[in-house]
Amino acid sequence: MSAGAEEVRGPGPSASAPPASPAGPAPSEGVPPGAPVLFKGGTVLTMDRAGVLDPGDVLVEGERISAVGGELATPEGAVVVDCAGGIVMPGMVDTHRHMWQTALRGFGADWTLTQYFVFYYLNWGKIFRPEDIYAGNLLAGIEAIDAGVTTTLDWSHGLQTIEHGEAALQALREVPGRFVLAYGNLLGAPWEWSKTREFRAFVAREFQTRSDMLGFQLAFDVTGDPSFPEKGAFESARELDARATTHAGVWGATNDAGIALMSEHGFMTKDVTYVHAATLSDDSYQRIAASGAYASVSTESEQSAGQGYPTTWKLRRHRIPVSLSMDTSVWWSADMFSAMRSTLGADRSREHLEAHSRNETVVSNALRAEEVVRWATLGGAEALGLAEEIGSLAPGKKADIVLLKNDRSPAMFPVIHPFGHVVFQAQRGDVDTVMVNGRIVKFGGELVGVDLDKARRAVASTVEHTRRTLGDEAFRAAMHPELPAAELIPNRYTYTDWDGGRAATRRGAGGPR
């Protein structure tokens, strides 16, 4: 280490940064522009041609990575982050999240997709005010960077008015993360609102200069109506030089007819992201593959809500590139570790199921942990058109970096299979340090420069507004949908001879105790 460099030893929930010396600040106090930061001595997953460096170093100067390698020289005045025993990886990328719904976190835990549609699209979507969009986005953005998700696409389909859109943007700008606002309005026709004077003025005002810190897309779905009204929305995307993101292959909602219409009218390009893509025909998958576009798979959502079986097992066969997403915190969270784990499990489960149906046995897994980590990092960057800037650790790339290290966790050592460790062992509580665009936003397990209390107050206001507007009875009914009738399978093994029929009586009263 050169003279004048400051080493910050052993970051983690059990350790705090030492006092800053005249040579340089501790990361927890913020790093002035131009102060180099050296992530030193960790297992580095570059997601680049350099592969895995163990141990390895990553040097950040300004907003960018200047060097990746082993035993890098420490520049004068650098802050050194001790990464020994930890994993250094690119920031994760979530390519589809309804951030505004985070203000009602967990409200729909027992919903199906139908119940989600009834609540938001038919009954209550209209009650959300601009301040409620702001509250959800603010909390969702903070949660994302806390979990090591440095880039999130906000599939923001609650923007009923331009004021709602401005509130969404305000929240995103207050969080030190990288975001893409995918503008949508679930209560309006996209071929109409995307062409209004007010919307065009909003885009011109807010996105006159495009930035990799705050991007812009259009978010809308294609219903399969033979008249293809969505043509106007795709035309708007082209006129605004914006990508489009659409929920495709969602059981009961969007299907092959929508894909065919997009293809026939020339709107299937690499600038469209297909979210879920779970219930399409081989022909539709082939059209997507030929366009060079990405899918965004939300495995936890697809497994639980009912869009269709998580489809990576088909996407791989059709050579459709994959990115990962978390969908909405009205069900789930910003935890991309959960996304990786559930995706790998669902893919392998389907492989085994298909093999068993043929009376065969899978003897070697087709999908590996490394590929799933790639989907969560570089795959997401590619899907958003940001791969030249983020998604891997390489000289010249923007410095979006995550350190996984938790000296208090017995599950965080030893690190033998680093990709397997990220997918199956690590969790959001092990995210020690997060850097976005060269700025440390989390250190030692603690967020830096984030007002969590402000988000808490804003969300509390939204919850109170929602409960008051729905009324207590409707609020409880929406949160606890009626259980469907269950058809129990008769069991001839009742053992009534030895217990006088008591077992049968207990089963009739709710099952054995």
Q: Which residues of 182-198 are buried (b: 16+ CB within 10 A; e: fewer)?
A: bbbbbebebbebbeeee
127, 66: one domain: no
Are 447 and 142 a contacting pair, CB within 8 Å? yes
Last residue of a domain, one of 384, 414, 439: 384
Are 151 and 390 a contacting pair, CB within 8 Å? yes
pLDDT of residue 109: 96
Q: Is residue 495 part of a domain?
A: no
79, 100: one domain: no
Distance between first and last Cα of the chain: 65
Q: Is residue 511 part of a domain?
A: no
Per residue, what are the HEC states of 145-185? Answer: HHCCEEEEEEEECECCCHHHHHHHHHHHHHCCCEEEEEECE
* Beta carbons within 8 Å of 163's beta carbon, 6+ residues apart: 130
Are 303 and 346 a contacting pair, CB within 8 Å? yes
Q: What is the C-alpha separation between 498 and 444, in angstroms, rounded?
A: 61
Last residue of a domain, one of 364, 384, 404: 384
Helix (H/G/I), strand (E/B), else coil: 377: helix
7, 150: one domain: no
CATH of the domain at 400: 2.30.40.10
379, 395: one domain: no
State phi, psi for 141 to the nearest 5 degrees.
Answer: -65, -45
Q: Is residue 129 part of a domain?
A: yes
219, 104: one domain: yes
377, 317: one domain: yes
Longest dimension (CA), the chain: 85
Amino acid at 270: K
Q: Is residue 410 part of a domain?
A: yes
pLDDT of residue 210: 83
294, 440: one domain: no
pLDDT of residue 23: 39
With CA atoms as reference, report the closest residue to 325 among 462, 479, 140: 140
CA 39, distance to chain mean position in Å, is 25
Other Cβ atoms within 10 Å of 477 Cβ, number: 12
* DSSP secondary structure code for residue 123 in this structure: I
pLDDT of residue 35: 86
- Domain that residue 154 falls in: 92-384
pLDDT of residue 319: 97
* Sign of CA pseudo-dihedral 48, 50, 52, 55: negative
Per residue, what are the HEC states of 398-462? Answer: ECCEEEECCCCCCCCCCCCCHHHHHHHCCCHHHEEEEEECCEEEEECCEECCCCHHHHHHHHHHH
Going residue by residue through the chain, which has 513 residues, state the pLDDT in tens, using 9 for 90 and above: 544 555 554 444 333 333 333 334 555 555 666 689 999 999 999 999 999 999 999 999 999 999 999 999 999 989 999 999 999 999 999 999 999 999 999 999 999 999 999 999 999 999 999 999 999 999 999 999 999 999 999 999 999 999 999 999 999 999 999 999 999 999 999 999 999 999 999 999 999 888 899 999 999 999 999 999 999 999 999 999 999 999 999 999 999 999 999 999 999 999 999 999 999 999 999 999 999 999 999 999 999 999 999 999 999 999 999 999 999 999 999 999 999 999 999 999 999 999 999 999 999 999 999 999 999 999 999 999 999 999 999 999 999 999 999 999 999 999 999 999 999 999 999 999 999 999 999 999 999 999 999 999 999 999 999 999 999 999 999 999 999 998 888 888 876 665 555 555 554 444 444
With CA atoms as reference, report the closest residue to 246 among 192, 202, 190, 163: 190
Last residue of a domain, one of 420, 450, 480: 450
361, 429: one domain: no
Q: What is the C-alpha separation between 38 and 138, in angstroms, rounded?
A: 30
Q: Is residue 508 part of a domain?
A: no
Are 440 and 80 a contacting pair, CB within 8 Å? no
419, 292: one domain: no
Helix (H/G/I), strand (E/B), else coil: 117: helix
State phi, psi for 229 to the nearest 5 degrees.
Answer: -65, -25
330, 285: one domain: yes
The token pair that represents 253 in the structure block: 């909602």
The token pair that represents 397 in the structure block: 């790339």
pLDDT of residue 105: 97
The token pair that represents 287 in the structure block: 């059209």
* Beta carbons within 8 Å of 284's beta carbon, 6+ residues apart: 248, 249, 256, 259, 260
Q: pTM for the whole thing?
A: 0.91
* Beta carbons within 8 Å of 293's beta carbon, 6+ residues apart: 268, 269, 270, 271, 272, 273, 274, 320
Residue owning tokens 């790093």: 31
CATH of the domain at 244: 3.20.20.140
CB-hemisphere CA count at 13 Å for 19?
A: 2
* Residues pairing with 149 in the sheet: 92
Give the DSSP H/E element, type plus range, for residue 234: helix 231-239
The token pair that represents 110 in the structure block: 């027992």
